[in-house]
Chains A and B, each alone.
Chain A
Amino acid sequence: MKPKKVNFSLEELLHLKRHEMPREEFWETFEKQLQCRLALEIGRKRSFFRTNMLDVLYKKWVCWFPLATCLCVFGFVVYTQCFRVEKLSNRFVVVTEDIICHRALKQFVLSVDQQLSSVPVRNLVSGSQKIVATDTCKRFSF
């Protein structure tokens, strides 16, 4: 066994560690370094603040989003009702000249007996008959 050179209690021995501290010169360098790092951090914090400002603006815009959406939907509905162009489809109806004379009408509701679905186009183009494609078979646009 190693001979005892000192006879401390454990607490006394641990208290010795309180003396393990850097010299005063160390703290000067330490503070300078820390100030540099803090200055960088403050700079970063400011740019982060700017980013947040954009966020705030974005949030304000988001507040208007439901109203803007409603306006868009309303506009779309008005557009489709007033300037609607019927899509061509493979379903056909036969329309006579007297119906076509109603050019003032944008839409015309056909009665059931005027419908002639599933007839090939080439067989229907003759005389006063016109073929108009419609997706509903009940109405069409001129």
Chain B
Amino acid sequence: MDASPEVNLDEENVLAEESADEDRLWIRRVKSGNTRAFDFLIRKYQRRLYSVVYNMTSNKVDAADLTQEILIKAFKGIHTFKGESHFYTWLYRIALNTTFSFIKKSRKTSHYSLENWDNTEIQENILSHSNDLEMGDRATLLKELQEKLNEALQKLSLNHRTVVVLFEIEGMSHTEIAQMLHCSEGTVRSRLHYAKEQLKQLLKDYLKDYEA
């Protein structure tokens, strides 16, 4: 029983390596002039990139536009990718840099344009955490939760928001985030801690056992 998490970790590593090998193969094809090979990489990463950008901006229109911009940048700069890191690390770095400059430019004019929830799954999730809510109330609560979550995220500083999005929402490891942000794992952990403290304060009405 004790060995199972290690096995899972090994399996994950093997899968990650297989995925990286597959990426290298497609990148080599793109570099040799087969531009259609880039479609594979687009399909593989577009949803993850979109998710990061959307959670950073809380605006679905901007997120779609930025994701396209990021993929075009990656296509244009793929010859500079030397394979020293994983392709997705390199891609996420482009994504974060592009998003950061966009957010800095549009700070004064930013507004929310929120994405749809995956209703069936989320309603089940809400149901398991709500205290005897009726169906009508649940829909209202969903909308309210979405707004509050996005509002709270947008109140965080860029560095804090990035760490929360990558770790809690995208499920990346501290090591991966540190590589992407060119900082130490300790910095990532510390930013995550402070960001969570801020979020707890901002979302206290929806959290269990919260004490200020």
Contact = CB atoms under 8 A, between A and B. Distances in A.
B50 to A, nearest CB: 7
Interface string B66-87: 0110011001100000000000
B72 A19 contact: no
B208 A9 contact: yes
B43 to A, nearest CB: 8
Contacts of B42: 31, 34
A2 B141 CA distance: 13
Main secondary structure of the interface of B (DSSP, over half): helix
A128 interface: no
Contacts of B194: none
A6 B141 contact: yes
A42 B76 CA distance: 9
Nearest to B148: A13
Contacts of A12: 129
Contacts of B115: 20-22
Given A30-B46, A30-B64, A37-B68, A19 B149 contact: no
Interface string B96-138: 0000000000000000001111100110011001110100010
Contacts of B169: 14-15, 17-18
A42 B121 CA distance: 41
Contact of B206 (A4, A33, A37, A42): A4
Interface of A: 1-2, 4-23, 26-27, 30-31, 33-34, 37-38, 41-42, 45
18 contacts: A2-B205, A4-B206, A5-B141, A6-B145, A7-B129, A9-B208, A10-B196, A10-B199, A15-B168, A19-B125, A20-B55, A21-B50, A22-B64, A23-B116, A30-B68, A34-B42, A34-B71, A45-B76
A-B CB proximity, top 9 nearest: A7-B208, A14-B168, A19-B118, A20-B115, A19-B122, A2-B205, A34-B68, A6-B129, A6-B130
